[in-house]
Amino acid sequence: MNQILDLLSSFLIGGIVLLALLGLNMQFTSKNQEIKLAEITQSSSTSIGRIIEHDFNKIGYGDPTDSSIVSISNNSITFRADLNNDGNIEVVNYSLINNANGKFVKRIINSNESKSWLQPIKNFQIFGLNVTSDTTYVSSQVSAVLVNLEYAKNDYLQDTLSIGVQWRRKFFPKNLD
């Protein structure tokens, strides 16, 4: 009788240890996936940031006119610049697009849809700043541009990691008056 009781108790203890190890393994797997998703999102954030930095730092570069910023509003900007250093002035437009699939930031060069891209986001804001750092949307008064980009929360697991959710940068293009 004692042998059967010992055998049952060892099966019970072994089962508990096995379930604990299985739960621990599942928790590590879940955290690993969460970290990997955050890493991918962070990589996407820095890639888009590099493109925006390249374009916005060149506002007005190579443009002989005094009005390099064609138009600016809270969620769109159109400006002229020689992006490729080839002597040709491109007209670049960044804007917030709302459609049934969500919100996107759209970049278009020279009204050419084949050179455009969409990035899913939560919010995209542009602030034109004058020489006293007050917000202005009068193109001729803009001396700096502040860009605020927030990525969509549904790209993340609803847990503690939200790496790369917001990207914010102030640009002082040398080519603006």
Interior CA angle at 45 toward 68 and 174, to 5°?
25
Total domain count, the chain: 1
In a domain, 1, yes or no: no
Q: Which helix (H) or strand (E) holds 16?
A: helix 2-57
Residue 84 is predicted with a pLDDT of 84
In a domain, 10, yes or no: no
In a domain, 13, yes or no: no
Residue 53 is predicted with a pLDDT of 87
In a domain, 44, yes or no: yes
In a domain, 128, yes or no: yes
Which residues have CB under 8 Å from 103's CB, separation 6+? Answer: 96, 97, 120, 121, 122, 123, 124, 152
In a domain, 18, yes or no: no
Domain coverage including residue 52: 29-171
In a domain, 113, yes or no: yes
In a domain, 75, yes or no: yes
pTM: 0.71
Residue 152 is predicted with a pLDDT of 62
Q: Splitting the chain (177 residues) into consecutive groups of 10 residues, what average pLDDT does each group show?
A: 84 90 88 76 72 87 81 92 86 88 84 69 88 89 89 54 70 77
Residue 170 is predicted with a pLDDT of 92
